[in-house]
Amino acid sequence: MNNKFDFKRFGQVLAKDWKQYFHDFGISLIVWSCIPVLFWIVTLIFDTEMENGSRAVVIGCLVFLVLMFVPSKVYGKANLSREGVGFAMLPATNLEKFFSMVLYCSVFTPLIVGLGSWAIDSLLYMLPFGGFTYDFVMLPTNKLGVIFVTIACYTLLVSSIFLFGNMIFKKRKTGKTIAWTLLIVFVITMILELFHFWRAFVNWEISINQNALPWIMDGVMFVFAVAFYYLTYRKIKTQKY
């Protein structure tokens, strides 16, 4: 197999993965996108209201949750000794398989669930009854750039972590990835707390521009996302069957 990236061959991989994606995850996409209906029913039953900010948080959580489950549902067999042979024998390079995986798990999935749940939320808001108040989102226009970049970086980071977990774990992929992620976050938090304590002890002050802080955090998330994507590609490339 020629290791060069071929767009025609990549299109064939996308077409093949498209069928598998909607066969394995199509119903789940519909269910996840319709979750706002449950919240609307609750407001109707209990005669309460749910403002747009709370609904935006719910939809954001839905997107991040679905990012955790889609890799194992669609590509869960890619690293298995027997079941993964079909993935290994695809007439495409490892890079083409990897990019197709990233497109479906990191781009198409959040777009479908995010836009789908937003559309349903908007329809429910327009009904003369129910407790959805105000239109779905009213964001400050001067912060749209920062908000968009932050959401994109969060999306890439979460997706890359669970794509990597899908390729290194063979069973209970999502659960193990969540457990290891929480453990690593806990360790990093403890290290940062110790550093903060030591910095206060030695009276070492660090001055950071508060306006630049969101961009710094976004940059850190992006770097980690790229690292996990690279590790995922390396695992696909070196996978033994």
| Domain boundaries along the sequence of the chain | 7-238
Place of tokens 């403890």: 190
pLDDT of residue 135: 60
- Other Cβ atoms within 10 Å of 156 Cβ, number: 22
Lowest mean pLDDT among 47-61, 96-110, 223-237: 47-61
pLDDT of residue 3: 65
* pTM, to two decimals: 0.87
Place of tokens 């394995």: 24
Please, are residues 162 and 174 in contact by the beta-carbon 8 Å criterion?
A: yes
For the residues 58-73, what does the mean pLDDT come to?
94
What secondary structure letter does DSSP report for 204?
-
Cα gap 88→237, rounded to integer Å? 10
Tell me the β-bridge partners of 132. Answer: 50
Cα gap 222→145, rounded to integer Å? 16
State both tokens at 60.
């954001």
Q: Mind listing the pLDDT tens digit for each residue in 132-152?
A: 876 655 555 556 677 888 899
Q: Tell whether the model's pLDDT for residue 201 goes beyond 70.
A: no
Outline where DSSP puts E strands in 98-194.
132-133
Q: Mind listing the pLDDT tens digit for each residue in 79-103?
A: 988 888 888 888 889 999 999 999 9
Please, what is the average pLDDT of the chain? 87
State both tokens at 32.
């996840």
